[in-house]
Structure 1
């Protein structure tokens, strides 16, 4: 057998505004690949359940085989009906083809006949309903060349073109001349590959060269042998394509018998999809589902509707449904025991083997018994079979069962965290109380000191007041005594002073009287003299 690594990159499911023959082929391929993918997941789940001794009836498989039969059924599928319409040559029309499809599948659960007489029909795919326009189905399925090109190629004298078209006898063709296409049988015999022969019988061409018989392994990439094989493969594929187009063009001109002997696009496509599914079934496929977060190619931008649509089209939601209907969470007993050991009561846990001892001794029975005990403690005993099952080496949990286990762990840690928080808060409260007590004591001491200080100050002020009163009384008594002694002295002194003032005033009065009398006399004399002069003048005037 040949060992190889293949990478298959296919179009995703397509639902466009206008869906034609290309979308039907692409969606048919996706239906077939989705069925193969679902079967792989389903079979893998059942095999694991069977190995662990569980009931495999818990997992249901939603098969899309009716949709595949609707599109590619051997007798009355849409694509076989299209191929039958192609054999009618000029009599085939889109309306006749659509009417035949309506007559065959009008009551099919996955087929919807639209209202009106349009050449359209709807197929209910696993990813959604798709409305197909069948106007160009027959033309695209025939894929014929124009008649002028066929006639031009037929009269061409080039050996290369004649070899490709097959108009030159095979016995005249020689290896190494331009356009030489080796016969498939000789090529497959040289390669010694049953897989390639089967592919040739199905019309699928050369895909994977086998290793040489001497066990030297496949030729290295870039070597002369590798390049020669690649050239032969490309020439053969190109030759088959041109021959198919030539035959289609000849049939378009009226050669219906020649057209019936050639394969249409849908027939070749169905064979290729079948061969692809056979190859995937015979190998160990690994799937990568690429999800585009947005249509604008922007960073950190997420379109929920676009992502949900891609998940539905890629069949991821169907896989999730298959896993959720069974037991999606599974753990071996040692890991389960280690993760949920704390849920066993402390006294019972002391009497059981620890996880470390079970691992060291390889005691799977003890780990299984402990895991079963933990599961029964957390999960409802009446629904135990629905919530979990015990396998040979694994414990299987439902989705909600795992949630309950995790909730129990959170509750366990929350309870212990509450106790730890209580102790921590008590310690913090005690420390705060002690610190507050020390602060209160210091405050009380300071307050007492302040009260005593104020009291001392009041006492000092009172003492000073008393002293002042005493001193004032003594000073008043002394003052009264001194005053009593000073009054006679002051009286004698004042009398002497009064006598002096009186004598002085008497002298001054006498002088003032004398001066006044002199001044008054002078004034009276001057006034008398003035009057005399005035009387004399008056007498002179009158006389």
Structure 2
């Protein structure tokens, strides 16, 4: 109704109020998007990369120390590194720290909470108290402390892998020897079975030969006896 008013004062006031309301809703929407963006940035671990020009010749393999140092100073990288070293640039949650380095502990602490495991790790490796700070949910380290833990972790994992490799090798050799013994037994059984079959065939042939020989000898004997008997009869009758 106010928008359709023909009064020169009422109509413009309503239109102006509508524009302000629209602007306010856009600003509120932008504020909400900005708040979501800030929440997303706070939940991540940002990494900044600065590109440094190594030389003015634009050729690979050439390094100009003065040029690179000037760029580092102008970009504020040296100051950032100095400030980073004086603070606690490395941070890690108790859960992640305990999960990553918990196996290095000499005692079993599987039943303890991540905070207790983290503190036990710090004490075992004699990390100086001024080199870290313990928070409610995170640990904060000065520069270089995580690197020392990573070196110990890598050496331990390498040793574990070597032990596992030796154990698997021992198991494989033991299994191979058992397999060799099984194959030798199987081959011996096959050869024995083959030899027994060949012997049975030879024995059967030998018995058959003896039987044939007996038949032939008996036939020859009977023939000879008949010839002798016939000759005797002839002699006696003469």
State the TM-score, normalized to the length of structure 2. 0.50
Structure 1 or 2: more helix by fraction: 2
Larger Rg: 1
